[in-house]
Amino acid sequence: MNKVEGVIFDWAGTTVDFGCFAPVNVFIDIFKNAGIEVIMEEAREPMGMLKIDHIRAMLTMPRISTKWEETYKRPFNEQDVENLYAEFEPELMSSLIEYTDPIPEVVETVQLLRSQGLKIGSTTGYTQTMMDVVVPNALKKGYGPDFYITPDGTNSLGRPYPYMIYRNMEALKLSASWKVVKVGDTASDIKEAVNAGVWSVGIAIGSSEMGLSLDEFNALSKEDQEKVISKTEKSFLQNGADFTIKSMSELPQLIERINDLISEGKRPYAK
């Protein structure tokens, strides 16, 4: 069967938590508590990575690492990363349940894909403990993939490593990487897909890359909405995405297009 067999989704910012706000506010808070003011863009840049890797990535940003040295009279070290993470996890856990609503169009689209015989997988930058909150609460609201895995299941090798995608393929019995589509909302998601050799799709509306809440997005004029969508899609393509979609309802049609490409012998990254 030369067509797409499965779709692997990211979680926050792709299928739940419009705008991916649960972790970003906590990153800003923990750095503020350490005496370092970080801006939203800095907190979002590594989004999609395993959260301790995310903290490490923020500390290596030139402006933040300079601020750290000015504040503490030394470069940051691994103990600092662990200290920040020790503060991050409980703070995120205390609010996570509030960020488990499926993003508009997700429940209906997943239902449609399943009815077409596609398997639904997922990967995340959250740990297993965090997903123990997210998964059952999202399920109560209508969204649940056939399989999910966290970096805890791949020896803490999260994105951009491809291993979570491979575990999905194994669990869901997907026969080849070019019969798999990965949908995500961050540069890390795109890189994970590229490294796994699967079709990579960036989703714009509701994404961490766009960084707007549903109310903020809806408050924009149609023209301004198009501008932020275009900027977000351009970023995904620069990171190696094969395709971008504005929102989840466009995915089934895109999968038909990918099926046509597969039947023509095309593979990811060889458009």
SS (H, E, C) the chain: CCCCCEEEECCECCCECCCCHHHHHHHHHHHHHCCCCCCHHHHHCCCCCCHHHHHHHHHCCHHHHHHHHHHHCCCCCHHHHHHHHHHHHHHHHHHHHHHCCECCCHHHHHHHHHHCCCEEEEECCCCHHHHHHHHHHHHHCCCCCCCCECHHHHCCCCCCCCHHHHHHHHHHCCCCHHHEEEEECCHHHHHHHHHHCCEEEEECCCCCCCCCCHHHHHHCCHHHHHHHHHHHHHHHHHCCCCEEECCHHHHHHHHHHHHHHHHCCCCCCCC
Considering the candidates 10, 17, 53, 242, report the single residue annotated as catalytic: 10
- Looking at residue 68, what is its pLDDT? 98
- Looking at residue 139, what is its pLDDT? 98
Mean of the per-residue pLDDT values for the chain? 97
Considering the candidates 3, 17, 29, 51, report the single residue annotated as catalytic: 51
Tokens 């408050």 sit on residue: 219
Sort 119 into a burial class: Cβ within 10 Å, 0-12 / 13-18 / 19+. buried
Q: Which domains are delineated in the chain?
A: 6-20+100-263 (3.40.50.1000), 21-98 (1.10.150.240)
Tens-place pLDDT, residues 227-253:
999 999 999 999 999 999 999 999 999
Tens-place pLDDT, residues 113-147:
999 999 999 999 999 999 999 999 999 999 999 99
Whether 99 has a pLDDT exceeding 80, the answer reads yes
At residue 206 the predicted structure's pLDDT band, cuts being 50, 70 and 90, is very high
- Looking at residue 42, what is its pLDDT? 97
At residue 87 the predicted structure's pLDDT band, cuts being 50, 70 and 90, is very high
At residue 270 the predicted structure's pLDDT band, cuts being 50, 70 and 90, is low
The answer to whether 51 is a known catalytic residue is yes
pTM of structure:
0.95
- Looking at residue 144, what is its pLDDT? 98
- Looking at residue 1, what is its pLDDT? 73
